[in-house]
Amino acid sequence: MNMMGKAYDVEAICRDFPILAESVRGKRLVYLDSAGSAQKPRQVIDTIRQVYEAEYANVHRGLHFMSEQASVRYERARATTRAFLNAEYDHEIIFTKGTTEAINLVAASYGVANLGHGDEVLISFAEHHSNIVPWHLLQNRTGCVVKAVPVDEDGTIHLSDFEAMITEKTKIVAITHVSNVLGTVLPVKEIARLAHERGAVILVDGAQGVVHMPVDLRDLDVDFYAFSGHKLYGPSGIGVLFGKEALLEAMPPYQGGGGMISTVTIDGTTCADLPDKFEAGTPPIAQAIGLAAAIDYVSGVGMSAIAKHERGLLNYATQRLSAVEGLRFIGTAAGKASVVAFTMDCAHPHDISTIIDQNGVAVRAGHHCAQPLMERFDLPSTARASLGMYNTTEDIDVLVDSLEKVLEIFR
């Protein structure tokens, strides 16, 4: 579907996602957990089926027809991903199993090779655990120190804090593009400039970034960018690490095995060139091709059009939810993405989630793998409605009606 220049046809988009026609407890599914994992359009599902039914074999190994065909499609998926991110070279795109593996790769490879005792990794208080724990593991291995820039009461993260905290000791700045709880969008281009001025590299956790807005890596000028296929309407089990060529070239491999070698003798190994050096073992073949189908799908709709649709939804949700008695938003930073965390005076987030589930409404409740952020707000957990390309104002109406039921029960 190409929607360039046309009005955003959310009904047509909804029809592309078969699961949205399912009912839950006799009610229409209202899916508001896309930040947890997004649903998949028929175009992605059909592509995966087609791969397994007609085009499947291992890649890069056989000279037989099916293997060659699968290899071509797998490499084409890399090219599609490169173009989507506006990276310079296909071999700067490394397929991983997700954002988590991509960040672990950088910490274990670049981190161990380049950081020593007293060097600093600068993160923020708004990071998902997958952009905290790998740096703690690096801290244990190298004696480096993990520091974090603060988050304001409204969820804003200030550039001035990066200005103050990126010093000559800082070797890696590792920050999220968009907070999975607050929805705050970080000024990554400006942070990248500061990091580079002070000799640090910057990794951006794009798990919630790439899904909400166009991402142009050459414009942002970040060194590493990670995201997961399953949040971008693609399959699970596939993710992407972008790294600048010169950095990836200099980094040692993360895992060893088939596919990542040039030669192996009993005495030693020489590594393959990029990107194979970082793709040991049989890769997620159908998943990579499915990710390319997801990228084609969102690109057909247009990331700017999706961003605009979600902005409208966020404004509507903010306005309607503000009228719910005792509801408090966690994260109201200017320009935020369509992730709405909230608490209610009268009910625990788990109770909120369980009760509105009776109405077919799927929201996430918990600490969202962001415990330092929860501690910052002095909360054990929140409820979170996250809005994606297929959500509608009716979905928000059902959410609000369901929260009124929570009020009736608990008030």
Residues tagged active-site: 369
Give the Cα separation of 281 and 204 in Å (integer): 26
Looking at the Cβ atoms of 195 and 337, the one nearer to ligand 7TS is 337
When asked if residue 185 is in the footprint of ligand 7TS (CB under 6 A), the reply is no
Name the token pair of 158.
């200030």
Looking at the Cβ atoms of 35 and 398, the one nearer to ligand 7TS is 35
When asked if residue 287 is in the footprint of ligand 7TS (CB under 6 A), the reply is no
- Tokens 């988590």 correspond to 100
Q: Which of 16, 32, 36, 132 binds ligand 7TS (CB under 6 A)?
A: 36
Quick note: the x/- pattern for ligand 7TS over 114-143, rule CB under 6 A, is --------------x-xx------------
Name the token pair of 347.
């009910």
Q: Which of 41, 98, 283, 290 binds ligand 7TS (CB under 6 A)?
A: 98
Buried b (16+ CB within 10 A) or exposed e, 148-167: bbebbeebbbeeebbeebbe
Q: What is the DSSP string of 296-316?
A: HHHHHH-HHHHHHHHHHHHHH
Beta bridge partners of 381: none
Q: Where are the beta strands (DSSP E) in 125-228?
A: 145-149, 170-176, 201-205, 224-228
Q: Which of 91, 171, 212, 368 binds ligand 7TS (CB under 6 A)?
A: 368
When asked if residue 104 is in the footprint of ligand 7TS (CB under 6 A), the reply is no
The interface with ligand 7TS within residues 16-35 (CB under 6 A) comprises: 35
Looking at the Cβ atoms of 81 and 180, the one nearer to ligand 7TS is 180
Which helix (H) or strand (E) element contains residue 27? strand 27-28
Q: Cβ of residue 206: shortest distance to ligand 7TS, in angstroms?
A: 8
Q: Which among 82-90, 98-106, 189-197, 340-348 is the span making contact with ligand 7TS, rule CB under 6 A? A: 98-106
Beta bridge partners of 328: 343
Q: Which of 47, 142, 176, 353 binds ligand 7TS (CB under 6 A)?
A: 176
Q: Where are the beta strands (DSSP E) in 169-217?
A: 170-176, 201-205
When asked if residue 182 is in the footprint of ligand 7TS (CB under 6 A), the reply is no
Length of the chain: 411
Alpha helix locations (H) across 28-158? 42-54, 65-85, 99-106, 112-114, 133-142
Q: Which of 39, 156, 180, 343 binds ligand 7TS (CB under 6 A)?
A: 180
Report helix, strand or coil for 16: helix
When asked if residue 100 is in the footprint of ligand 7TS (CB under 6 A), the reply is yes
Q: How many residues bind ligand 7TS (CB under 6 A)?
A: 17
Q: Cβ of residue 130: shortest distance to ligand 7TS, in angstroms?
A: 4
Q: Which stretches of the chain bind ligand 7TS, using CB under 6 A?
A: 35-36, 98-100, 128, 130-131, 176, 180, 205, 207-208, 228, 364, 368-369
